[in-house]
Amino acid sequence: MKVLIIGSGGREHALAWKVKQSEQVRQIFLAPGNGGTTTFAENVPINVKDIQKLADFANQNEIDLTIVGPEMPLVAGIVDEFKKRNLRIFGPSQNAALLEGSKVFAKELMAKYDIPTASFRIFDNPDKAVKFVELKNCPMVIKADGLAAGKGVIVCDGKGQARQAIKEIMIKEKFGDAGKKVIIEEKLIGQEASIIALSDGENVLALTPSQDHKQIYDGDKGPNTGGMGAYSPTPVVDREIFNYCVDKIIKRTVLGMKKEGMRFQGVLYAGIMMTEDGPKTLEFNVRFGDPEIQAILPRMKSDLVDLILGTLEGNLADKKIEWSDKTCVCVVMSSGGYPGSYENGKEISGIKEAESLDDIVVFHAGTKKEGQKILTNGGRVLGITGLGKDIKGAIERTYKAVKIISFDNMYYRKDIGLKAF
Q: Name which of ligand GLY, ligand AMP, none residue 227 binds, using a CB cut-off of 5 to 8 Å depending on partner kind.
A: ligand GLY
- Dist. CA 283–CA 165, nearest whole Å: 19
Q: Could you tell me which residues come within 8 angstroms of residue 151 by beta carbon, excluding any fewer than 6 positions away?
A: 175, 224
8 Å CB contact between 113 and 253: yes
**C-alpha closest to that of 10 among 363, 352, 369:** 363
Residue 68 to residue 285: CA distance in whole angstroms: 13
CA angle 401, 405, 411 (to 5 degrees): 105
Binding marks (x or -) toward ligand AMP, 275..314, rule CB under 6 A? -------xx-------------------------------
- By C-beta, is 200 or 290 nearer to ligand GLY? 290
Give DSSP secondary structure letters for 44-96. Answer: ----TT-HHHHHHHHHHTT-SEEEE-SHHHHHTTHHHHHHHTT--EES--TTT
Specify the pairing of strand 410-411 against strand 65-68.
Answer: unpaired
CB 263 within 8 A of CB 96: yes
Q: Is 217 exposed, middle or buried (0-12, 13-18, 19+ CB in 10 A)?
A: middle
Residue 145 vs 185, nearer CB to ligand AMP: 185
| Exposed / middle / buried, residue 373 (Cβ in 10 Å: 0-12, 13-18, 19+) | exposed
**Residue span 102-121 as binding mask against ligand AMP, x where in contact by CB under 6 A, dash where not:** ----------------x---
The reply on whether position 395 binds ligand AMP by CB under 6 A is no
Is the CB of 145 or the CB of 292 nearer to ligand GLY? Answer: 292
The answer to whether the peptide bond before residue 223 is cis (omega within 30 degrees of 0) is: no
Residue 12 in contact with ligand GLY, rule: CB under 6 A = no
Q: Decide whether 17 or 105 has the Cβ nearer to ligand AMP.
A: 105
Residue 285 binds which entry of ligand AMP, ligand GLY, none, CB below 5-8 Å type-dependent: ligand GLY
Among ligand GLY, ligand AMP, none, partner that 292 touches (CB below 5 to 8 angstroms by kind): ligand GLY
Q: Which is nearer to ligand GLY, 329 or 375 (CB)?
A: 329
Q: In the complex with ligand AMP, which residue's Cβ is closer, 185 or 292?
A: 185
Annotate each residue in 171-210 with x if it binds ligand AMP (CB under 6 A) or - if it does not, as one string: --------------x-xx---x------------------
By the rule CB under 6 A, 290 interacts with ligand GLY: yes
Binding mask 260-289 for ligand GLY (x = CB under 6 A): -------------------------x---x
Site string for ligand GLY, 339-358 (x = CB under 6 A): --------------------
CB atoms < 10 A from the CB of 124, how many? 12
Quick check: 170 and 143 in contact, CB under 8 A? no
Q: What minimum distance in Å lies between the beta carbon of 199 and ligand GLY?
A: 17
Helical segments of 325-407, H only:
351-355, 391-402
Q: Where on the chain is the footprint of ligand GLY (CB under 6 A)?
A: 212, 226-227, 285, 289-290, 292
Q: Where on the chain is the footprint of ligand AMP (CB under 6 A)?
A: 118, 141, 143, 153, 155, 185, 187-188, 192, 214, 271, 282-283
